Chains A and B, each alone.
Chain A
Amino acid sequence: MNYENVLTTCPYCGAGCNFYLQIMDGELVGVLPCKDHPVSQGKLCIKGWTANEFVTSPERLTKPLIKRDGKFVEASWDEALDAVAAKFKATRENHGPDALAVLASAKITNEENYALMKFTRAVLGTNNIDHCARL
């Protein structure tokens, strides 16, 4: 058996607590707070403690789904993106850009968040964007 701890930062909020991801035989099994990190000093919030669970959670989406007559059906990315784009355009025309809003997530990297911000502001033309990690 082999086991090791990989140091990383908690993806959820801005606090930036550091913790180790416990890898046992190549499988992610848990989280161990990093004691000597200047900010978190070995403490985590509930999200930090369970940061590893979503990775192997069975409920995680792996394919784009489109609801057709009440039931989610797998779709290809092109189909999904076309549908979304169409809906965005329609809403913007009917109700104006501020009818749209975007919520960013801690599970994507900062660069992606920046890109999302640019998309919302420049492309959609609205300032309605927020991020779940803003405690």
Chain B
Amino acid sequence: MAYRAHCLICTGTGCVAGGSFNLRKTLEAEIAKRGLDREIQVITTGCQGFCAEGPIMIVQPDGVFYCRVEERDVPAIVEEHLLKGRPVKKLLYTPPTEKAPIPALKDIPFFAKQKLIVLRNRGLIDPDRIEDYIAVDGYTALGKALTQMTPEGIVLEIKRSGLRGRGGGGFPAGIKWETCRHAGQVRGVAPVVICNADEGDPGAFMDRSIIESDPHSVVEGMIIAARGIGASEGFVYIRHEYPLARQRLQLALDHAREFGLLGKNILGAGMDFDIEIREGAGAFVCGESTALMASLEGKLGEPRAKYIHTVEHGYQDRPSNLNNVETYANVPLIILRGADWFASMGTGDVKENPWNGSSGTKVFSLVGKINNTGLIEVPMGISLREIIFDIGGGIPKGRKFKAVQTGGPSGGCLPEEKLDMAVDFDSLTEAGSMMGSGGMIVMDEQTCMVDVARYFIAFLTEESCGKCTPCREGLKTMLDVLTRIGDGKGRMEDLGLLEEMGAVMQDCCLCALGTSAPNPVLSTLQYFRHEYEAHIRDKKCPGGVCKELITYGIDPAKCDGCHACVRACSTAAIMGEVKKVHTLDVHKCIKCGACIEVCRRDAITRT
């Protein structure tokens, strides 16, 4: 029976937190009440990407994009839109800079500039149903790979596509597969295919969304990789903190097995390959290849000497191919549409040598001081400015952009002058940051770069496995110095000391966590040295964050006496009658920032 309309409700973790599961139930109940259940189908889809505006619902075929939908809006939607065909104006999305709402999805700037390859099926299919994935020609790439291509051909195709590791290292996947395959043949040991879904970077949730929206793309990518490399066993190492993604992936694996796409004699082509899900135990360091494999083997998750490459001697000393979720998700389309199609996107000419550029697209999770927080997929080579301002919708509260942090804790902070730089592997690394997994944290004038550096160093000190001296002791001492600077007790030679420590760590640390840990400090020193000097010499915190160095005050010009801040202040440091300009007692103030949160007039000053 053909449905005349589909309501696509986003059930990514963000929207689920907003209550989209209940939304679906009430919507279905309402439709049934109105007897429309045979005409209108309600589908729950993966993450639509626009998390800031969640829970999101799209009504097709008209493509109307509703945001911040709540259960109490359901009767209105059914009545007005589904019955009478008039979109509910209140739920439409109006970009912050404009007045009029934009009903159609394709017109919304957040989506317009994106190019969906990995996220092509997000919001279109129900991740729990394999039929939906097959409907959008899922597993046809697998069929092509098994029947029409030789394993060597598959590897060559990936190599020529210039696909580089989306986990952060940017190592060409084709070369990795080739070496792994060769090692398997030479040593006569069956290689292993592993998917790294640990995603430990704070603020990064790309892999989660990919798995939650389109798990089969990852599965299909892994099977093709296994065919190319000649592996018989596969693992997905997913972090413990992604229960919904794990449940959907497990469901996908079971369905794939039922459909003969996984397990014994896949598609009758005589290939045996199965995938098992293994959970991480909450250690950021287990995102690193050797630590991950140690954890897979049940051992203490700590990295080992890197000169023994995991593609030759990895999990249980077998050749192991470790790629990120996003890398595998790209594979089916490359096989289906060919390497040239993929190489045409992105920067540089990768046909001869994958190192010469960054082809394909990259998924970023845009967070921080940005209007359109969410998941975006943009072609390589796009500029930071386009991402932040066109797609991201600029900085809220009209504040000024200060910096953007890419690559998670191992990445660096790029200042305003770098906004027009093309976003790809090599240029980011040159600029002192790195592509990393794809976390992009936007910072405005009210963030203190010293505090940001201290936050990341604190995170890394906590997450360092502590095995080798420079990382364990280096991070601890760096944190002490940064905290000292933040408390206004820093000395000018501390800056030289930080740089020296950073250099030694980059030289001597055993694994990437250690060698890339100094990046936040070194990049903030490189671009925001003046903020450090302000903290040390002037005992001032430009971003108004470091408690020891700021004092709170109320700008009489802006304060309209709305009394909100008095209620929020826990130490009764603010006095004043309603409708009158209020005053703040500096001695009582503990600088907790509660008043800033509630002040609609932005009247609280931090100097």
Check whether chain A touches chain B (CB < 8 angstroms).
no
Q: Tell me the B residues contacting A by CB distance below 8 Å.
A: none
Q: Tell me the A residues contacting B by CB distance below 8 Å.
A: none
